[in-house]
Structure 1
Amino acid sequence: MASVFKKTYVRPMPANAEIVSRQGKQIARWTDGKGRKRSAEVTTGKDGSPRIKTEASTYTAKYRDGEGIVREVATGCRDKQAAKTKLAELLSIADKVRVGSITTTDLKIGDHNKIPLADHIAQYITDLKTRGVNADRIKTSETRLKAACDGCGFRWLRDLNADALRKWLRGQPEMSAATYNWHVTLWTAFGNWLTGIRLQGKRPSQTGERRLTSNPFDGFGKRDEKSDRKRVARSLTRDEMQRLLDIAQRRPLQDALTVRRGKNAGKQVAKVPDARRAKLERLGTERALIYKTLILTGLRSNELRTLRKSDLSFGDVPFLILKSSNEKNRKGSTVPLKSDLAADLRAWVADKAPGDLIFNVPTGLLRILNRDLIAAGIDKVDENEGRIHLHALRHSTGTHLSAAGVSPRTAQAVMRHSDIALTMNTYTDERLLETSAAVEHLPTLSVSSDAPMDAPNPVQAGQNSPSLTESDKATRDRESTKKPSDSQGMLSFRKWAIENSNLWPLPCESSALTN
Structure 2
Amino acid sequence: MSLIKKWTTRGDGKKEQSKKWYGVWRDVDGKKRTKALSKDKTVANQMLAKIVLEVEYQKSGLSNQFTQNAAIPIENHLEEFIAYLKSKGDTKNHVEMSRIRIQRMIEGCGFKRITDISALKVSAWLKQRRTEKSNFGIQTSNRHHGAMGSFCHWLVNNGRLMGHPLKGLGKLNPQSDQRHQRRIMPAEDLKTFLEKVKESKRIDKGADWKFTPESRRYLYLVASLTGLRASELASLKRSSFDLNLKTVTIKATISKHRKEDVLPLNSVLLTELTEWFEKRVSEGDFYLWSGSWAKQRRAGKILQRDLKEQGIPYQDNSGTVFDFHSFRSQFITSLCEAAVPIHEVRVLARHSSPVTTLQHYAKVTGVHLYESINKIYDPVSKG
C-alpha displacement of 1:353: 5.3
Q: Deviations over 1:174-233 (max 9, x none)?
A: 33111221122122211111112xxxxxxxxxxxx3111111112211111112242111
Counterpart for residue 134 of structure 1: 91
Q: What is the rounded CA distance, in whole Å, between the counterparts of 2:175 and 2:365 in structure 1?
A: 17
Is 1:171 the equivalent of 2:118?
no
1:246 and 2:195 aligned? yes
| Aligned counterpart in structure 2 of residue 211 of structure 1, from 144, 147, 160 | 160
For the 8 Å contact 2:333–2:364, the answer to whether it is kept is yes
CA distance in 2, matches of 1:343, 1:140: 37
Residue correspondence of structure 1 range 365-514 to structure 2 within 5 A = 365-431=299-365, 434-446=368-380
Q: What does 1:38-77 correspond to in 2, within 5 Å?
A: none
The aligned residue for residue 217 of structure 2 is 288
1:328 aligns with 2:256: yes
Partner SS for 1:335: strand
Taking the aligned partners of 2:203 and 2:88, their CA distance within structure 1 comes to 48
Q: Which residue of 1 aligns with 2:46?
A: none
* AA matched with 1:428: A
Q: Which amino acid aligns with 2:269?
A: L
Which amino acid is 2:84 matched to? Answer: D
1:335–1:414 Cα contact (<8 Å) kept:
yes
1:416 partner amino acid: R
Matches within 5 A, 1:2-401: 102-172=59-129, 173=131, 174=133, 175-196=136-157, 209-252=158-201, 283-315=212-244, 317-350=245-278, 351-352=281-282, 355-360=285-290, 362-363=293-294, 364-401=298-335
> Aligned AA for 2:228?
L
Listed as ranges, the gaps of 5+ residues in structure 2 are 1-56, 205-209
- Within 2, Cα distance between the matches of 1:229 and 1:179? 13
**Amino acid of the residue matched to residue 359 of structure 1?**
W
For residues 358 and 349 of structure 1, the distance between their equivalents in structure 2, rounded to whole angstroms, comes to 9
Instruction: Give the AA of the match of 1:332.
Output: E
Measure how far apart 1:244 and its partner are: 2.0
Q: Secondary structure in 2 aligned to 1:226? A: helix
Following the alignment from structure 1 to structure 2, what is the Cα–Cα distance between the partners of residues 309 and 147? 38
- Indicate the structure (1 or 2) with the bigger Cα radius of gyration: 1
* Post-superposition offset of 1:439: 1.8
**What RMSD in Å do the two structures reach over aligned CA positions?**
2.5
Is the 2:74–2:112 contact (alpha carbons within 8 Å) kept by the matching residues of 1?
yes
Give the CA deviation at 1:101: 5.2
Instruction: Quote how far apart the aligned CAs of 1:342 are.
Output: 0.7
Question: Is the 1:247–1:375 contact (alpha carbons within 8 Å) kept by the matching residues of 2?
Answer: no
* 1:34-80 CA distance string (max 9 Å, x none): xxxxxxxxxxxxxxxxxxxxxxxxxxxxxxxxxxxxxxxxxxxxxxx
Change beyond 3 A, Cα 1:432–1:254? farther
Q: Is the 8 A contact 2:85 2:95 kept in 1?
A: yes
Between the two proteins, what is the percent identity of the paired residues? 24
Distance 2:230 2:203 in 1: 25
Cα distance in 2, alignment partners of residues 433 and 134 from structure 1: 41
Q: Is the helix fraction higher in 1 or 2?
A: 2
How much has 1:395 moved relative to structure 2?
0.6
Q: Unpaired segments of 5 or more residues in structure 1?
A: 1-99, 197-208, 256-279, 449-506, 508-515
Query: What residue identity is the alignment partner of 2:218?
Result: L
